[in-house]
Amino acid sequence: MGGRMLRVGGYTPFSTGEFPGLLSAVVFVQGCPWRCGYCHNPHLQPRDSGAIAWPEILARLAHRAGMLDAVVFCGGEPTIDPALGDAIEQVRALGFKVGLETACIYPDRLRQVLPLLDWVGFDVKTVFDDYPSVTGVSGSGQPVRASVAAIVASGVDYECRTTVHPRLLQPAVLLELAQTLAAMGVEHYVLQEFRATGCDSATLRAGARAGYPGPDLLAQIAPLFRRFSVRRPGVGAR
Ligand code: SF4
């Protein structure tokens, strides 16, 4: 293990919803430098919080080889962890496919692990110049631009997603974002309607609007992508 061990904040032994079409275990990596108002996992934001021992999880995965198809690393932000590449290689050695869910925060580490991945689910939160309005962190959009370019160039299967809330993404900005992603070569795009359940922000909960974005805006966005869908809470949402 080279002395580096993944810092894990949570573990789900069986999931049908994380890696499309496959039964997977989900490993939640501890730590995220951003502070999005709609974060559903704020307990995973501190990097130094309590962790589950990685060798223990690896042993549990070894027992499930043959019963599970894949392991998905998510967070927090999994690319924050210098041990991510080692952990992925260990999981692959057990025969699992590997998925990664990322907010695209660390493009250099993402580039290192992309050749080891079978699938990537990645968030793009808004147009790159406006990222601090969502994440609370200045300059946070630039690494995302680099990460998106790396994923598209890698040829790894992926899903690009944006969580939509009318206060965070006005219609004109959402359309600009979709056009930007299409111009970068993104072909598979999903809009996820904001989920009030589990969100700590009273402001965002109060400002939520079911059915946003509406049909006119969706009709402009859909043709930009080869595959496009909208995920509404309670309607196949995850
Ligand atoms: S990037 Fe993801 S994990 Fe980090 S604060 Fe934002 S929603 Fe939460």
- 51 within a domain of the structure (yes/no): yes
Check whether 230 has a pLDDT greater than 80: yes
Helices (H), 118-214: 132-135, 141-154, 171-183, 202-207
- 91 within a domain of the structure (yes/no): yes
* Residue 211: predicted pLDDT: 85
Indicate the top mutation candidate among 39, 147, 164, 201 to test ligand 1's pocket, ranked by most ligand atoms within 8 A of CB: 39
Average of per-residue pLDDT across 98-110? 98
Average of per-residue pLDDT across 170-193? 97
Å from CA of 20 to ligand 1 middle: 21
* Residue 100: predicted pLDDT: 98
Structure tokens at 90: 């260990």
Ligand 1 pocket residues where CB is under 6 Å: 32, 34-36, 39, 41, 45, 75-77, 103
| Three-state secondary-structure class, residue 22 | coil
Q: Which residue has the higher pLDDT, 206 or 213?
A: 213
Check whether 5 has a pLDDT greater than 80: yes
Cβ neighbours for 157, distance < 8 A, ≥ 6 positions apart: 118, 119, 120
Q: Of 120-124, 185-189, 230-234, which range is least confident? A: 230-234
Q: Of 13-27, 40-54, 87-101, 199-213, which range is least confident? A: 199-213
* Residue 236: predicted pLDDT: 41
Enclosing domain of residue 172? 8-237
Q: Cα angle vertex 105, ends 112, 227, to 5°?
A: 85
Indicate the top mutation candidate among 35, 36, 81, 199 to test ligand 1's pocket, ranked by most ligand atoms within 8 A of CB: 36
Average of per-residue pLDDT across 93-110? 98
Å from CA of 112 to ligand 1 middle: 21
Average of per-residue pLDDT across 185-196? 93
- Round the average pLDDT of the chain to a whole number and report it: 93
| Three-state secondary-structure class, residue 39 | coil
Helices (H), 155-209: 171-183, 202-207
| Three-state secondary-structure class, residue 58 | helix
* Residue 7: predicted pLDDT: 95
Q: Cα angle vertex 125, ends 221, 200, to 5°?
A: 125
User: 11 with 25: CB under 8 angstroms?
Assistant: yes
| Strand bridging mode 188-193 / 70-74 | unpaired
Check whether 234 has a pLDDT greater than 80: no
* Residue 233: predicted pLDDT: 75
The C-alpha torsion from 69 through 155 and 82 to 15, rounded to 10°, is -30
Check whether 41 has a pLDDT greater than 80: yes
Q: Residue 91 carries which side chain, given as an amino acid letter?
A: V
* Residue 238: predicted pLDDT: 36
Question: How many structural domains compose the chain?
Answer: 1
Nearest to 107 by CA among 156, 151, 147, 142: 147
- 220 within a domain of the structure (yes/no): yes
- 219 within a domain of the structure (yes/no): yes
Name the residue with the closest Cα to ligand 1, atom 3.
Answer: 76
CATH code (residue 40): 3.20.20.70
pLDDT tens-digit readout, 118-161: 999 999 999 999 999 999 999 999 999 999 999 999 999 999 99
Structure tokens at 18: 């994380």
- 20 within a domain of the structure (yes/no): yes
Name the residue with the closest Cα to ligand 1, atom 8.
Answer: 39
| Strand bridging mode 24-29 / 8-15 | antiparallel
* Residue 50: predicted pLDDT: 63
User: 117 with 99: CB under 8 angstroms?
Assistant: yes
Predicted confidence band of residue 3 (pLDDT cuts 50, 70, 90): low
- 1 within a domain of the structure (yes/no): no
Q: Residue 8 carries which side chain, given as an amino acid letter?
A: V
Structure tokens at 30: 């501890």
User: 30 with 105: CB under 8 angstroms?
Assistant: no
Å from CA of 67 to ligand 1 middle: 30
User: 92 with 45: CB under 8 angstroms?
Assistant: no
- 2 within a domain of the structure (yes/no): no
Name the residue with the closest Cα to ligand 1, atom 6.
Answer: 36
